[in-house]
Amino acid sequence: MTDAQLNGRNRLLAALTPLDLALLAPHLQSTRYKQGVVLQEPGDPIDRVYFPESGMISLLAVMAAGNGVETATIGREGVVGVMAGLSGRNGTGRAVVQVGGDFSHIAVGHFQTAIDQSPAMRELMARYNDAQITLVYQVAGCNALHQVATRLCRWLLQTRDRCDSDVIPLTHEFLSEMLGVQRSTVTVLARELQDLGLIHYRRGRIEIIDRGRLEQKACECYATARRTIDKVYAEPET
């Protein structure tokens, strides 16, 4: 991929110095994936590292019975599979494209070679990886302690940030899986938010109308998660 093709929408790639980016660029490819494509199964070796340019990937913890629950969503602020580059480990969850879009990716071998040549890039990837682990802790607490309506607000805002659009294509199935409630319950919760004038909702297409009030109604985890990601990209304190 040439520099001209790298559109710089992925925040991690955009944060790299030109020299570091040049280590990755010759091996980066971009693919458009549709909703529902499985990029990674738990336990399989990770062969690619994904940098979303648009769209959103969700990581699910998969139980023995085959059902899963959301542990994280990753958009253009992050990367999927970075653990493999840092440690060569296998994948821990299932990675599914939840909102279709363009995804830059690189073979894990090339990624490892690149970060071996740049301590600064390794440091940035490690900081992101630490932040991702912090977010998973946060989601575990949120799932157990926070009311479902406030969790719905958080997921809507988070998906809005990931996709950079007030119109978010989330299905009933996706929301019910994330929140651990029935699809009919999602309908009731979404209608409540619509009656308050916060969103417009119709059959799996949600439009955020009043982002400010939606933020007030969301649980604290939305703001916490934003701060955690922003810290990855903040200039180191001197």
Partner 1 sequence: MMPLSQLASSMARYYFSLRNGRLFDDIDGLELPDIAAVRAEAVAFARDLMRLDYDRRDWSQWIVRVTDENHNVVFDLPFAEAV
Catalog residues that contact partner 1 under the rule CB under 8 A.
147-148, 172, 181-185, 187-188, 191, 202-203
Smaller CB separation from partner 1, 102 or 207: 207
Residue 159, Cβ density class (10 Å: 0-12 exposed, 13-18 middle, ≥19 buried)? buried
Sorted by sequence, the CB contacts under 8 Å of residue 172 that are 6+ apart come out as 183, 186, 187, 204
Between β-strands 56-62 and 94-99, what pairing exists: parallel, antiparallel or unpaired? antiparallel
Left if phi > 0, otherwise alpha if psi is -120 to 50, otherwise beta: which for 55? left
- For the CB of residue 204, give the shortest distance to partner 1 in the complex, in Å: 8
Smaller CB separation from partner 1, 15 or 181: 181
Smaller CB separation from partner 1, 103 or 201: 201
Contact 152, 201 (CB under 8 A): no
Smaller CB separation from partner 1, 7 or 182: 182
Contact 214, 199 (CB under 8 A): yes
- For the CB of residue 183, give the shortest distance to partner 1 in the complex, in Å: 6
What are the structure tokens assigned to 222, written together? 């939305």
Helix (H, G, I), strand (E, B) or coil at 169: coil
Token pair 């604290």: residue: 220
Instruction: In whole angstroms, give the CA distance from residue 62 to residue 52.
Output: 22
- For the CB of residue 190, give the shortest distance to partner 1 in the complex, in Å: 9
Smaller CB separation from partner 1, 120 or 188: 188
- For the CB of residue 205, give the shortest distance to partner 1 in the complex, in Å: 11
Smaller CB separation from partner 1, 92 or 187: 187
- For the CB of residue 5, give the shortest distance to partner 1 in the complex, in Å: 40
- For the CB of residue 185, give the shortest distance to partner 1 in the complex, in Å: 4
